[in-house]
């Protein structure tokens, strides 16, 4: 079974709408990362969260890590076509802090 | 400069060929990584180098041979690959091996084994 799960698997939204992507772990996380990937390209770093309850924002994207450090959410406000892509959460578990594993990804399409 | 450069961008090789993938970063990062990504799947860790020494090998077949000649360069030597090895190979680097710091990824090499 996967150590990291993401929901939803895919998302289609109208431009201007808000959306949320979730990442859940069955184990306590050492660090949580959000990346964006366009098909066939490299990963673009978005944010890193380490402390329980931490929240970070960059432009119209906000990410939170819950107090127990087992779940994170990524929220996009007023989505734009440029937000389209695959969003991957990555995490290092406390048992292997130097090894980052990735969730299965959430595919986002934004319709103009 | 937060760039990780991978070459070539695309590679087609036969099963008896020997080829190498190259990765370069000039951010002074001391940890470098190779990931393999199949279509519609997340990246999977292959190797981790820390201070030019191999620290993690995720049970990768010996037909993949990593090399870190200096702190800026990471190579992946390929020999006798199988068609199922076709994938996007991603290189990444971070300041240290500890995942306390973010990892920056290259654009990847799209490998096709025929």
Q: Say if residue B25 is exposed, middle or buried (CB neighbours under 10 Å; 0-12, 13-18, 19+).
A: buried
Report DSSP state, residue B106. -
Distance CA A65, CA B85 (A): 35
pLDDT, average across residues A9-27? 95
Distance CA A106, CA B86 (A): 23
Residue A16 pLDDT more than 90? yes
CB B91 within 8 A of CB B9: no
What's the token pair of residue B84?
Answer: 């199922």
pLDDT, average across residues A81-92? 94
CB A76 within 8 A of CB A68: no
Give the contacts of A96 (CB within 8 A, at least 6 positions apart). none
Say yes or no: B99 contacts chain A, CB-CB below 8 A: yes
State the pLDDT confidence band at A96, using cuts at 50, 70 and 90: low
Q: Both ends of chain B: CA-CA distance in Å?
A: 36
Q: Which position has the higher pLDDT, A93 or B92? A: B92
Among B90, B64, B62, CA closest to B78: B64
Among A104, A108, A103, CA closest to A33: A103
Instruction: Answer whether A100 sits within 8 Å of B4, measured CB to CB.
Output: no
Say yes or no: A5 contacts chain B, CB-CB below 8 A: no
Which residue among A88, A98, A101 sits closest to B98, beta carbon to beta carbon? A98
CB B94 within 8 A of CB B74: no
Residue B100 pLDDT more than 70? no
State the pLDDT confidence band at A98, using cuts at 50, 70 and 90: low
Q: How far is A66 from chain B (nearest CA, A)?
A: 18
Instruction: Answer whether A41 sits within 8 Å of B43, measured CB to CB.
Output: no
Strand-pair partners of A40: none
Instruction: Answer whether B92 sits within 8 Å of A43, measured CB to CB.
Output: yes
Which residue among B99, B108, B110 sits closest to A100, beta carbon to beta carbon? B99
b (16+ CB within 10 A) / e for B35-67: bbbeeeebbbbbbbbbeeeeebeeebeeebebe
Give the model confidence (pLDDT) of A30-76 as tens digits. 788 999 999 888 999 999 998 889 999 989 999 999 978 799 999 99
pLDDT of amino acid A92:
77
pLDDT, average across residues B47-59? 92
């Amino acid at each position: 079974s996967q150590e990291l799960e993401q929901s939803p698997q895919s998302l289609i939204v109208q431009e201007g709408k808000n959306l949320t992507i979730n990442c859940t772990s069955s184990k306590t996380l050492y660090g949580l990362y959000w990346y964006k990937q366009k098909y066939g390209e490299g990963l673009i770093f978005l944010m890193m969260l380490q402390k329980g309850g931490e929240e970070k924002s960059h432009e119209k994207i906000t990410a939170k890590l819950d107090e127990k450090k087992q779940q994170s959410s990524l929220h996009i406000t007023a989505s734009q076509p440029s937000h389209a892509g695959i969003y991957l959460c990555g995490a290092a578990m406390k048992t292997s802090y130097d090894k980052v594993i990735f969730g299965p990804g959430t595919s986002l399409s934004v319709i103009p | 400069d937060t760039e990780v450069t991978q070459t070539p961008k695309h590679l087609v090789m036969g099963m008896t060929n020997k080829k190498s993938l190259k990765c370069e970063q000039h951010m002074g990062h001391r940890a470098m990584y190779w990931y393999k990504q199949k279509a519609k799947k997340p990246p999977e860790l292959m190797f981790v180098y820390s201070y030019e020494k191999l620290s993690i090998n995720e049970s990768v077949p010996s037909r993949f041979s990593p090399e870190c000649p200096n702190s800026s360069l990471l190579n992946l030597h390929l020999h006798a690959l199988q068609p199922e090895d076709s994938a996007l190979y991603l290189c990444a680097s971070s300041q240290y091996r500890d995942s306390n710091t973010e990892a920056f990824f290259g654009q990847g090499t799209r490998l096709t084994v025929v």
